[in-house]
Structure formats: C-alpha cells, structure tokens
Amino acid sequence: MHYFCFEWAVDVLKRVSNLDDKEEIVKAIQSTNMKDSVAGPIDFTAPVQKGTAHPVLNVVSTPLFEGQWVKGSQQPWSVKVWPYDLKVVINTAASDVPVQGPVEPLR
C-alpha cells in the first residue's frame, strides 16, 4: 500500500514555502515527524540506526500490512464525507497495527 506516500507528500509540501527550492524541500522531508498516518508513524527525525524504522538518512520504513477500500461509514453528524474508507484487514507482518475488519468480497 502506497497511500501513505501521498499523506507524507502533502505533509511535506504544506511545510514548504517555495516549491522551486530543492534544499527547502529536503529540509522539510528531513524534519517530517507524522505521528499518525495510514501506515503508522513516519519519523525522519529519529536517530539513524540500522535495524530501526530509520535505518539510513532520508529513509523511513513502515510496517507491512494489507488494507481494503470499503463503502464509507456515516459521520456522527450524519453527513457522509467520503464514499470509501480504507480498513486494515490483515496484519500478519505488523501485529501492532490493529485489524479493522475482515476481507470482504468485491462488489
């Protein structure tokens, strides 16, 4: 699943004032510390250490799990905001990521 890459890119670009300044973009990437994304935390500020989620400079690994797009749920105020929700359905390689529902047949 690469959805988190879009979340991360949006986070980085929101913190950049000049999209033509490559150095500013790199600095924004290196200062990324997202506590919550669809793939879990994305922290480029953690110490670089082999065997961790930040093994080398400018690289962050995320746990591997599987998700499925399902029909969206109603919000508390009874207005559907999104037609689909992404639910975690398999977490074999990332047991700390909670499963949100079973795999459902495509319709």
Q: Give the pair of three-digit tokens for residue 26.
A: 């790199």
Decide which of 30 and 93 is more confident. Answer: 30
pLDDT digits (tens, 9 = 90+) for 10-66: 999 999 999 999 999 999 999 999 988 877 788 999 999 998 888 998 888 887 888
* pLDDT surpasses 60 at 79: yes
Dihedral of CA 13/19/22/27: which sign? negative
Amino acid identity of 5?
C
Q: Return the pLDDT at 1.
A: 52
- Looking at residue 3, its pLDDT comes to 80
How buried is 2 (Cβ within 10 angstroms: 0-12 exposed, 13-18 middle, 19+ buried)? exposed
Please tell me the predicted confidence (pLDDT) of residue 72: 77
